[in-house]
Amino acid sequence: MILLARFFCNSHRYSQVESSFDKKSDYRLKRKGHFEKKNRERISTYLYNMASPEIEEKLAPLRAAVKEYGDLVRSLKKNGVPKMDIDRAVAELKARKKILEECEIALIPKDVSFFDRLKFEDLLKQRFFYDQSFAIYGGVTGLYDFGPMGCAMKTNMINLWRNHFVLEENMLEVDCSVLTPETVLKASGHVDRFSDWMVKDLKNGECFRADHLIKNFAEKMCEDMKTPANVKEELKEVLAKLEGFNDADMHNVIVKYNIKSPITGNEVSEPIAFNLMFPTVIGPTGDFKAYLRPETAQGIFVNFKRLLEFNQGKLPFAAAQIGSGFRNEISPRQGLIRVREFTMCEIEHFVDPNNKSHPKFEQVQDYKLILFSACNQMDGASAETMSIGDAIAKKLVANETLGYYMVRVHKYLMRIGVDPKRLRFRQHLTNEMAHYACDCWDAEILTSYGWIECVGIADRACYDLSQHSKATGEKLVAEKVLSEPKTVQVIEAIPNKAAIGKIYKTEAKQIFARLEQLTSEEIEMLEKEIISTGNAKLHCEDKEVELQKDYITVKRYEKKVHTEEFYPSVIEPSFGIGRIMYSVLEHSFRQREGDEQRVYFALRPVVAPIKCSLLPISANPRFEPIMAAVRSELAKFSVSYKQDDSSGSLGRRYARTDAIGIPFGITVDFESESEPWTVTLRYSITMEQVRLKVSDVGKTVADLSSERMSWNEAQQIYPKFEQKSGS
C-alpha cells in the first residue's frame, strides 16, 4: 500500500496510481492550454460536490457499462474459467472504470469554487513547511527536507498517532534498523519482486518507466490531428488497459508503434525489472549485501518471538513501528505524494487465524464509514456510507479486527483534520491484492491530485511469519490451549547416534539437529527413499549427507496434545505520513473571504506546528515583565509559541501567524498591567477573543492545543474580549 502497497502487485499498483494522477492533470492541461491550468485544481472540489442529479444522469450509461463487465467477471469466476480469460475481462472492466472516471472529470461545472494549488505551494515554500532537498546542489527529485513548520507538524502528527494507537490500544512499539541484510528481504520477497518495469535508451542509457513512456506517447498521438481515427481508438484502449500490462504487453506496444526515447529519438530496450530498493553493503569486505528497508514491517516480523515473549506468549497483540522507509523510484514526481524517502507508521496485529474477532469491536460497530467496496467498483456504483457493524454483517469487510482498525484509522484522520467528505475506504479488487492477502481496504483521501491512498489496511494472513520461518528454521508461531485435548499422529526420525557419529564425527550433531527439525512429510519421503534405494540424501547446513538404512529408525505413535502451535495471521494498517500531511494541508488551506491574498492554514490545534503567538500590542519595554511571565507559563506546559514584537499593526501580525496555522494568539495590552496580570487569547479560525489571567494561560493553551478543552469551553470559562480596532 502506497508506500504501503505490498510489492507483489506493486509495480502494477504504482503505475495505476501514478498514471491516473498524471492523466487527470495532463488531460486538463492539454485540452485547455496552460491558461486554464487552474481548472485542474477544481477536480477535487468538483468530485467533492459531484453528487448532483444532472451529473449522475449523464454518468448512468457509463456506470451500466462498468457493471456489465463486473457481472461478467463474477460469472466467469463462478464458472471457474481459465485465469487468462478472467484477466482479459478484468482488463476490460478496468478500462470501462477509467472511462467513467474521465467522464466524471470532464463534467466539472465551470463555476465550482476552486483550490489554488499555486498559491498553496507558494505558502508552503515561503514558510518552509517543506522544500526540495539539496536545492543549492541542484536538488534531488523525490527527496524533501521539512523546515521548522513541516517538521513540527509531522512531529505532532506522529505524537498523536502514538497516543491514538500505541497508547490507547496498548501496542508494543519497536524501533528497528533501517539497514537490512539481503537474506531477510529475499525471504520477504522484496529482492525478487519489488520492482517496476523500465526501458533504457539503447545509445545513452537513459532510463524511463515503461508505462510512463507508453502513456505519454499514446496521449500525444491521440491529440495529434494527423493520427488516423483507428489508431487513436487502438491507443485509447492501450491507455485504458496499461495498468494491467506486464513486460511482454508493454514491449509489444513499444515495438508495434515504434516508440522511441522522447528526448533523443533513440530506440529503447525491452522492459527490464528495476528493483526499487536502495542497495548498500555492510562492513568493509563488500560482500555483505544489504538494502535500506522499503517498509518498517519486516523489522517487526523478525522480532516476533521476542515480542510474543514480551507479551507473555499471549495473542492477540499488536506491534507498531514509526520510521523511515526508502524506495528508489525511477522518476518520482508529484511532491510529497511520491518520494524516495518517507516516514511510515505501521502496525502488525497478530491474531489467531481462526478467530479474528476484536474485543473492542462492539464499541465501534455503529461508527459509519464511506465504503467503496470491490462489488460497487465492479458495478460502476458509487461509494456508500455504512456502519462498520453492517459491513461486517454483510461480509463486505472480512473480519472484526480489520473493521475495528478501519474505524480507528478513520478516527485518527479526523483528529488530525482530514475532511470527512473527502475520505473513503476503497476495497482492493481480487487481482489487486497480494496473492496471500485475504482482504485489503485503502483509506483514500481526495486531493487536487485525485484520490490518493494514504493508509492501507490489509489482512496478510500468515505469509510473513511463515516466510521468515522457512528462511531461518526458527518457528515463528504462537501456541494456544485446545478446548479439549487432541490425539495426533507423531512420526519421528530417531538417529542411530553411534553409527552416525562414527562416520560424520563433528558434523553428527548438526545431522541430529536437522533430523529433529524435519516435518512429517519430509520424514515419510526420507523413509520411502531409504526403503527403495537403501539410502537417502539429507540436506544439512549447505551440505548433503548420505544416510544409510541403519542410521535412522522411523518411529510412529499417537500422542495426546493439549496445545497447538500455529502461525498467527497479521492484520496490517500501514500509514504514509507524508501523504497524509499533504492532504491535511490541502484540506486546511483557506483564503479569507473578501481578501484572496490573505491565505492561511486552518489547522487543528493538535497538529498546528506552533500552538500560539505572543504579541505585545506595541513594542513598549514595560510589557517585557508580563511577556516573560507568559513565556515561563508556556514553557511549564511545553507549549510552543512564536513571539512577534515587530512594529506591524496587530492585525497584520495576526495575519502572519494565521498564515502558518497558529491557532491561538496571546496579546499583552495596556489592560494587562492591572494586577493580577491578564492577557487576551484569540482563536484564529473564528477570530474571537477572551481575556484570562497570565497564571492560567499555560494550562489553558496546553488544554486547547491538545484538544482536552474546546474553544467553546474556553469561552464559557473566560470573559469575552472585544477589540476596538477590528481585525
Question: Within 332-351, which residues bind a second copy (CB under 8 A)?
Answer: 340-341
**Of these, 75, 246, 324, 686, which contacts a second copy (CB under 8 A)?**
324
Asked if 275 and 294 count as a contact pair (C-beta separation under 8 A), the reply is no
Applying the rule CB under 8 A, the residues between 523 and 582 that interact with a second copy are none
Does the protein bind a second copy through residue 477 (CB under 8 A)? no
Does the protein bind a second copy through residue 145 (CB under 8 A)? yes
Contacts for 327 with CB less than 8 Å, ≥ 6 apart: 3, 276, 277, 278, 294, 340, 342
**Of these, 103, 176, 191, 685, which contacts a second copy (CB under 8 A)?**
176
**Of these, 99, 107, 112, 178, which contacts a second copy (CB under 8 A)?**
178
Taking the complex as a whole, how short is the minimal distance between the CB of residue 183 and a second copy, in angstroms?
6
Applying the rule CB under 8 A, the residues between 425 and 454 that interact with a second copy are none
What 510-517 contacts at long range (C-beta under 8 Å, 24+ apart), as own/partner pairs, is: 510/540, 510/541, 511/538, 511/540, 511/545, 514/538, 514/539, 514/540, 514/541, 515/552, 517/473
Applying the rule CB under 8 A, the residues between 660 and 719 that interact with a second copy are 706, 708
The one-letter code for the residue type at 328 is N
**Of these, 27, 48, 257, 278, which contacts a second copy (CB under 8 A)?**
278
Residue 329 or residue 442: which is nearer to a second copy going by CB?
Answer: 329
Residue 111 C-alpha cell reads as 463555476
Does the protein bind a second copy through residue 326 (CB under 8 A)? yes
Burial per residue of 101-123, b for 16 or more beta-carbon CB atoms within 10 angstroms, e otherwise = bbebbeebeeebebbbbebbeeb
**Of these, 37, 67, 77, 127, which contacts a second copy (CB under 8 A)?**
127
Task: Please work out the total of residues on this chain that contact a second copy, with binding judged by CB under 8 A.
Answer: 79
The DSSP 8-state label assigned to residue 268 in this structure reads: B
**Of these, 99, 103, 143, 202, which contacts a second copy (CB under 8 A)?**
143
**Of these, 474, 624, 673, 713, which contacts a second copy (CB under 8 A)?**
474
Residue 629 C-alpha cell reads as 511571565
d(CA 87, CA 108): 32
Does the protein bind a second copy through residue 280 (CB under 8 A)? yes
Does the protein bind a second copy through residue 224 (CB under 8 A)? no
The one-letter code for the residue type at 601 is F
**Of these, 68, 87, 173, 529, which contacts a second copy (CB under 8 A)?**
173
Report helix, strand or coil for 219: helix
Residue 80 or residue 138: which is nearer to a second copy going by CB?
Answer: 138
Asked if 681 and 700 count as a contact pair (C-beta separation under 8 A), the reply is yes
Does the protein bind a second copy through residue 285 (CB under 8 A)? yes
Does the protein bind a second copy through residue 265 (CB under 8 A)? no
d(CA 686, CA 566): 56
Does the protein bind a second copy through residue 307 (CB under 8 A)? yes
Applying the rule CB under 8 A, the residues between 373 and 402 that interact with a second copy are none
**Of these, 49, 87, 119, 133, which contacts a second copy (CB under 8 A)?**
133
Applying the rule CB under 8 A, the residues between 489 and 528 that interact with a second copy are none
Residue 671, Cβ neighbours under 10 Å: how many?
A: 14
Cis, peptide link before residue 316, omega less than 30° from 0: yes
Residue 193 or residue 305: which is nearer to a second copy going by CB?
Answer: 305
Does the protein bind a second copy through residue 184 (CB under 8 A)? yes
Asked if 213 and 206 count as a contact pair (C-beta separation under 8 A), the reply is no
Q: How, if at all, do strands 368-372 and 423-427 pair?
A: parallel
Taking the complex as a whole, how short is the minimal distance between the CB of residue 483 and a second copy, in angstroms?
22
Residue 450 or residue 578: which is nearer to a second copy going by CB?
Answer: 578
Residue 324 or residue 533: which is nearer to a second copy going by CB?
Answer: 324
Does the protein bind a second copy through residue 151 (CB under 8 A)? yes
**Of these, 32, 256, 306, 502, which contacts a second copy (CB under 8 A)?**
306
Residue 236 or residue 631: which is nearer to a second copy going by CB?
Answer: 631
Dihedral of the alpha carbons of 73, 79, 81, 87, in degrees to the nearest 10:
20
Asked if 301 and 189 count as a contact pair (C-beta separation under 8 A), the reply is no
Contacts for 450 with CB less than 8 Å, ≥ 6 apart: 20, 21, 24, 43, 44, 47
Does the protein bind a second copy through residue 621 (CB under 8 A)? no
